[in-house]
A and B are shown apart, each in its own frame.
Chain A
Amino acid sequence: MAESDFDPITFAVLKNALDTIVDDMAYAVMRTARSPIVRDVLDYSVTICDRHGRILSQAKTVALHLGAVPDAMDVVMQRFGSGLSPGDVIILNDPYAGGMHLPDIFMFKPVFFRGDLCGYTVVIAHHCDVGGRVPGSNASDSTEIFQEGLRLPPMKLFRGGQRDENVFSIIEANVRLPELVLGDLEAQLATCTLGERDLLKLFDRYGQAELEGYFNRLIDYGEALTRKAIASWPDGSYSFTDYIDGDGFSQDPIPIRCTLTVKGDHLYADFSGSSPQVRGAINSTFSFVKSSTYLTIRCALDQDVPNNAGVYRCITVTAPEGSILNPRMPAPVAARALTGYRIVDTVMGALAQIVPDRVMAAGEGGNTVVAIGGYQGEERQPFILVDMINGAWGGRANQDGIEGVTNPSQNMSNLPVETLESRYPIRVESYGLRDDSGGAGQFRGGLGLTRSYRLLADEAVLQLRADRTEHPPYGLFGGLPGAPSRNYIAEPGGELKPLPGKATLRITAGTLIRHDQAGGGGYGPVESREVERIRADLADGKISEASARALYGVTQ
């Protein structure tokens, strides 16, 4: 657009109008969804793209999903090209064709203004089950994608406004809880349509030419702010390695290595040196690796940088083919979120060498997934709880880490105990901060959480995905690591016994499962911690007297 046509107030209104559309869309998903993993835990994401598939605005939802949208958009545009019509709706979940892991079903609605394609509304939701060998479809111990559930390559769910009943019936026949899955698909659909309506209102008001002029300007603006930030960082290469405990089969540590290279106003992130692809289901699609990298770097930028395609232009990500970060078919990927968290930690470790005051020491290492599925009652009604335990942040340059907080790579919530108990044959027996778990430092890490579940149904399959048991969250600049995570089980009437970090097992009525989450790492030298902070932690029972004495030499 010509400079003379540019109006700063319209620019601000439009930027916020796009943010409002995605915010309203995100709200609509929450209000209309059926499964607790979507409506309470908020494991879903919302974005809108322009007609070139470029992200214009992201709702404050799961950052890990959002950066993977460009690759998925590419697949959709390649697959359907100009064959899209008004009223079409596309879905996909195939990790080898634009998806991330099977439970995340992407939905795209192309938006047409006066007959021409003008953009896409996009909703990604984590479905509570997509079939496969275990309830919840999220096991870390599968060995092939074919065990993980129903694979949906990009396909039309609606054609010109007409439902494709074939697709619906295939989905219905392949999942354990069709009511919830179809209900959540309905929520995605309604949301895509609401977003379409609101986006078209903007086109109506401003016209295509003016609006797209501002879209370009918005993306350029995102790029310019990002380039300015990167240009202010010292040129050079910075490497960091972090580890995943194991893939559920082997206890061998799995390295994730990242080298960040700052070259003028461009940033390169290369993952050479990371583990080859593994047998268990923690391999990550390359799209997800990019997403994890983008979001971590975004955390080191100022808040006013818009979250759009402009940011991605300044970052080039590479990962060797056949590695855990760029696996070959048919590698299993269901539990790949864990690998995403570790990518975030690794990139953060490299960033700490570039912008030490803009990072935090490692947090809890990603949420812990507790999935319990089975059948309840006389009628053998199926149930699947997919619960995610969040979390703790590491210490920061001028303040302690946070306890009871989502991993920064997401923006998830927790499942209220009362909601959980009203819907599942499960009782939560404790939910609290885990004392003494924050890594010591001038600014200590946040405390991990602890949560325990007792099964009330006759029997169920438990899938547990935790990490940071062997490789606790790192500290920075003299701060100590957080406490490692622990899992426990008590059979009915039995003692509490340890469980491995990743486990799939059958449990019976009365069994208690407890997860103690890892605490965040500390930041800065332990001896620099102010005595008042230590005393306050002692009074609140966040550290024990023994720890205060041993770590800081402070007594009450």
Chain B
Amino acid sequence: MADSVRIGVDVGGTFTDFVLLAGDGSTFTLKLPSTPEDPGRAVIDGVATLLERASVGPRAVSEVLHGTTVGSNTLLQKAGAKCGLITTAGFRDVLEIGRVRTPNMFDLTWKKPEPLVPRRWRLEVRERIAADGSVLETLDVQDAIEAGRVLVGQGIQSVAICFLNSYVNPAHERAAADALSHTFPDLSVTASIDVLPSMGEYERCSTTVVNAYVVPALRGYLARLEAGLRKIGIEAPLLIGNSNGGLSTAAAAQAKPVFFISSGRASGAVGAARLGASIGIPDLIAFDMGGTTASATMVRGGDVGRTHEYEFRDGISTPSRFIKAGGYMMRVPTVDVAEVGSGAGSIAALDEGGLLRVGPRSAGAVPGPACYGLGGSHATVTDANVALGLLPTRLGGGALELDREASVAAISEHVAVPSGLSVDSAAQGIRDVVNANMARAIRAVTVERGLDPRDFLLVAFGGSGPVHACDVAATLGMKRVLFPAAPGVFTAAGMLAGRLEHQFLRPVGMHLDRLALEVLGSIRRDMEAEARNAFGAEGRVSAAIDFAFSLEMRFQGQEASLPVPLPANLERDLLRERFLEIYRETYGYVSRDRIEVVSIRLAATLAEGQILDFATLRPAVATVSPETLRRRAYLGREAGWMDVPVRSRNALTVIMPGPFIVEGDDCTIVVPVGAEARPDAAGNLFVTLP
């Protein structure tokens, strides 16, 4: 397969980005407007176009790696399936009660998020499993079917099942799920034990319900996409970026979409960490700004911030390790991303009080900003950038002609005239507001955790990040900004830097001093076999696999555990030592109490196959060169309108002082007055701000 190619595709709210990695390490990139009514259409078109450009046939494709916002958009827009929930009698309100905490103290205005399944569609059945797994009351499967019938009669498309203590004995849940799937073949059914087989009825139920809520949308989308790829002759597997920044098969994503809600942006963050490693910078902030949202992720010491729980909520999502209350809880491994609902397509308008607001409404890809000439009449952030001369009049490698007059007219009508400002001033105002919003996401992962953003490098990517990054950095006093090669399609490239993985978890539940080591050894062998089977089922029989085992351990009586890497030789004293060492490092003390082994975890990663290496990356040659070598651009209130040099990306070979504008076919970089930009051989551009 020396000539095989891999393709990374990231679908955003506005653009769909593509990177093709050829066997010799060369890359081809492409950016197309997204097709929100059927996001797969842009994907298929783009893949076909890219293959043509790279002059390779569809059979040469070894993998298509895909990041999608279908999951998160479904939640954000509350556009998921009409869902039902079936619970143990007496417990239908567990989902709505939650963990009863509030995200802020002293805030009487708090609005608790509406449950994804309203009470009217939460039904109960008689059944009960005890905490030790014994059956107290046997489920009559007819009751479950009857509940299903009621729900289907109400037009329910997807049902979640969560019974008490099912994580110890799944029999009832399994029986109910099988009966419902059998009786109602069109109904999506998610049993909690298939999503999160662990203790804690609320967390398990909520995770299950989110899954049920997004299942039909994601399943339909991926099925259509796979069929489309087959149609253009691609037989290669479709792999999906999961919330943890890893890759899984499309089948896994269709069954458990709750693990894929942060698909895409997690891959961007992981890509940024790998890029940092390739240039020897371990501490950075990955900043991704697309058409509809912007996000920030902290990378420290080379590690991407991760969390095992995640809450999806409106507005800014600022993860705190301590507070749970703000949104829809998912207990799944996730890259820790702070996100704001502002991007290049965000619509600017004056509110009733005369305050300029930008977002959260977005013009999306259709109709898009006014300058696209596709029927959009609202003033967007992109219109502001076009009016100020920061963006060229052609985007996406010439795919899109921009109408500057339309931008000026929209800004004039919606912002300048009502506020009595000049168009320049109004456009700059739109930029100021959206830059402040972007800064909030970065603050959420730095300042709000007591970290000084000035200690970090900002890695800016996404279709719109590079137009704003330097101004956003300046707002926070940050001095160093890095633009990777092809920043506009960086997330898609990030996926090419990832490997296929499978995660496994088995309960152990023993005191360390009573743990039979030979049993542990045999569980380890079983899990290895399970992982090999999983890869085998995906056509990777006898593939080379990296196995990373860890034990979840804690002191007796604790709820939380710490992961301890499992040594090759299983010795009790060694395990104890390792745990105490990690515990002491985390909490600064150790107890004399007994130690419990809660569970064993396996992360199995495919060790073979070609992945993208940022250090040896050969950047794509830009296919467009700027029409003019200089252009008039408005560089902030102090500098005003200036005659600014314009460079194509691959023309930059030496250190160059700002101001100037870099145009590529994936995005535009604005380097401000007083800054200095230094390119490197791998296509990265380092900017130092004054």
Contacts and interface: CB of A to CB of B under 8 A. Distances in A.
A539 B101 CA distance: 26
A28 B447 contact: no
B119 A23 contact: no
Contact of B97 (A23, A27, A186, A404): A404
A116 interface: no
Given A197-B588, A422-B199, A295 B322 contact: no
A84 interface: no
Interface in A32-68: 32-35, 39-40, 42, 58-60, 63
A63 B108 CA distance: 14
Contact of A431 (B91, B107, B447): B91
Nearest to A363: B108
Contacts of B449: 16, 20
A413 B450 contact: no
A298 B106 contact: yes
Given A193-B589, A307-B106, A403 B96 contact: yes
Contacts of A360: 108
A358 B110 CA distance: 12
B663 interface: no
A419 B200 contact: yes
A16 B199 contact: no
Interface in A305-342: 307
Instruction: Pick from B105, B201, B454, B589 the residue with the most CB of A within 10 Å.
Output: B105
A411 B477 contact: no
A416 B199 contact: yes
A33 to B, nearest CB: 7
Interface stretch (B176-184, B419-427, B557-565): B557-565
A303 B104 contact: yes
Contact of B98 (A18, A27, A303, A404): A404
Given A417-B91, A418-B164, A419-B199, A30 B560 contact: yes
A301 B202 CA distance: 32
B355 interface: no
Interface in B569-607: 587-589, 591, 593
B442 to A, nearest CB: 13
Contact of B100 (A20, A35, A58, A414): A414
Contacts of B451: 13
B99 interface: yes
B560 A414 contact: no
Contacts of A422: 131, 199
A180 B99 CA distance: 23
A251 to B, nearest CB: 30
Contacts of B108: 299, 358-360, 393, 396, 408
Nearest to A193: B588
B90 A432 contact: yes
B109 interface: yes
A429 B90 contact: yes
Interface in B307-356: 320-323
Nearest to B562: A31
Given A34-B558, A408-B106, A430 B91 contact: yes
Contacts of A541: 119-120
A412 interface: yes
A301 B450 contact: no
A216 B614 CA distance: 48
Instruction: Pick from A414, A418, A449 the residue with the most CB of B within 10 Å.
Output: A418
B595 to A, nearest CB: 13
Instruction: Pick from A59, A180, A295, A422 the residue with the most CB of B within 10 Å.
Output: A422
Contacts of A20: 448-450
B111 interface: yes
A398 to B, nearest CB: 8
Contacts of B98: 404
B102 A411 contact: yes
A13 B557 contact: no
A461 B99 CA distance: 27
Interface residues of A, number: 79
B322 A26 contact: yes
A59 B119 contact: no
B324 to A, nearest CB: 8
B94 interface: yes
Contacts of B118: 539-540
Contacts of A28: 587
B111 to A, nearest CB: 7
Interface string B515-526: 000000000000
B97 A433 contact: yes
Given A403-B96, A411-B102, A33 B91 contact: no
B259 interface: no
Contacts of B201: 416-418
B566 interface: no
B656 interface: no
Interface string B384-422: 000000000000000000000000000000000000000
Nearest to A541: B119
Nearest to B452: A13
A401 to B, nearest CB: 10
A395 B252 CA distance: 44
Contacts of A295: 105-106
Contacts of A359: 108
A452 B591 CA distance: 36
B476 interface: yes
Given A30-B560, A414-B97, A431-B97, A190 B587 contact: yes
Given A12-B447, A190-B587, A359-B108, A408 B91 contact: no
Given A13-B447, A19-B450, A449-B97, A189 B589 contact: yes
A303 B97 contact: no
B93 interface: yes
A404 B98 CA distance: 7
A32 B588 CA distance: 11
A12 B555 CA distance: 38
Nearest to A393: B108
B589 A35 contact: no
Interface string A424-462: 000101111100000000000000010010000000000
Given A63-B105, A427-B130, A21 B90 contact: no
B540 interface: no
Interface in B63-107: 90-94, 96-102, 104-107
Given A60-B104, A408-B102, A421-B131, A35 B90 contact: no
B169 interface: no
A511 interface: no
Nearest to B320: A23
A299 to B, nearest CB: 5
A433 B560 contact: no
B165 interface: yes
A194 B589 CA distance: 10
B322 A406 contact: no
B112 interface: yes
Contact of A406 (B101, B454, B559, B588): B101
B100 A412 contact: yes
A303 to B, nearest CB: 6
Return the 7 tightest CB-CB contacts between A and B, nearest first: A17-B450, A404-B97, A34-B557, A430-B90, A20-B450, A421-B131, A540-B119
28 contacts: A16-B447, A18-B450, A19-B450, A23-B320, A23-B322, A27-B321, A27-B322, A31-B587, A32-B587, A63-B105, A179-B557, A183-B555, A183-B557, A186-B589, A190-B587, A190-B589, A404-B97, A406-B100, A406-B101, A406-B102, A414-B99, A414-B100, A417-B91, A419-B200, A419-B559, A429-B90, A432-B93, A433-B93
Interface of A: 9, 12-14, 16-21, 23-24, 26-28, 30-35, 39-40, 42, 58-60, 63, 179-180, 183, 186, 189-190, 193-194, 197, 295, 298-299, 301, 303, 307, 358-360, 390-391, 393, 396, 399, 402-406, 408, 411-414, 416-419, 421-422, 427, 429-433, 449, 452, 539-542
Given A413-B99, A413-B101, 5 more contacts: A40-B559, A413-B100, A418-B164, A429-B90, A433-B93
